[in-house]
Structure 1
């Protein structure tokens, strides 16, 4: 979405919201929350839909750019584990299921109950203390030299532990609203204004 088209849509929404007398109907808030939830789900399904502006990431950063690809070493590790090598942010479903969008007290709230929700949205660097064990998970892995990270105390043979290191996580904004969904929000607000006028 271009910055101009977004501003035009947001301006139109704000103008119409200004014509609604508080309290805003709960049904309107629920409809808007549902649209935002659908938009966020699309971001996961499409591997990102943002404008690529790393210096100004927000809810209204919708666009056509995909998320940054996984690092080569991560791809290699995922390949040995049989995981997708795409940056889906959805390998174990934990982040996606931690998102809640709801309307309350005249506002729409978005919450992410995940300890790593923020770093995936805005990016950052983790100072990892190390100490993660790696080795052969099963005896048969020795023949194929399949080495992977192990849960502490588990696995067939521990080969060593990682030392202190930094993990760089690129921004992969998933809490953004696409232009199509913004237009749907505009339509909901517009209908609410028309209904409100008709009821007077």
Structure 2
């Protein structure tokens, strides 16, 4: 949990800078770079958040790591020959869409232009519809004969035309700042401007 002291100090500093400068863009560019680095550290560290799934904001930074990959996800990665890279970091796809930039003379915009950005930031439930084709039934039979697991046989014999699995995605907030990040921003603003 980030203390009110640091957020109040930052607010006062920005008010002071707004009085000093007509256009805060140079200040905001420096702050944007620090925020971008902090977000990168969240990916590298496999999460740095407070663990409160009910109130995720940019100020939710802390020392909690993200939940580990589900065993089913790990099995899928191994089956596909993929590395078990850190969560949200295997392809770098999500991280590469994150943009932190000044907007106007007095604000910063943080965006993640990825179709799955929000579900990873906040968590949630997915219920995709998977059509069962004859090719899939053959796959289920092959898995049953290879593993002997009854669930593959059940899938091969099902009369259903589609499956609607319920997939829970845990929150893995990557757009968060820790108290240390905010202190670094405040220190830089105090010393540089």
TM score, norm. by length of structure 1: 0.76
TM-superposition CA deviations, 1:5-42 (whole Å, max 9, x none): xx211110111112122534321100000000000000
1:41 alignment partner in structure 2: 40
1:112 alignment partner in structure 2: 112
Q: Is the 8 A contact 1:67 1:87 kept in 2?
A: no
Q: Which 5+ residue runs of structure 2 have no aligned equivalent? A: 148-155
2-structure distance, mates of 1:82, 1:125: 26
> Equivalent residue of 1:189, what SS?
helix
Pairs within 5 Å for 1:136-175? 163-175=163-175
Q: Residue 100 and residue 3 in structure 1: after superposition, are their counterparts in 2 closer, same or farther (change >3 A)?
A: closer
1:100 alignment partner in structure 2: 99
Q: Is the 8 A contact 1:35 1:185 kept in 2?
A: yes
**Between Structure 1 and Structure 2, which shows a larger proportion of strand residues?**
1
1-structure distance, mates of 2:54, 2:98: 23
1:153 alignment partner in structure 2: none
Answer yes or no: is 1:90 the counterpart of 2:89. yes
Answer yes or no: is 1:17 the counterpart of 2:14. yes
2:181 alignment partner in structure 1: 181
> Equivalent residue of 1:125, what SS?
strand
1-structure distance, mates of 2:180, 2:70: 31
Please give the root-mean-square deviation of Cα atoms over the aligned residues, in Å.
2.6
Aligned residues: 173
Q: Which 5+ residue runs of structure 1 have no aligned equivalent? A: 147-158, 196-200
Answer yes or no: is 1:8 the counterpart of 2:12. no
TM score, norm. by length of structure 2: 0.79
1:127 alignment partner in structure 2: 127
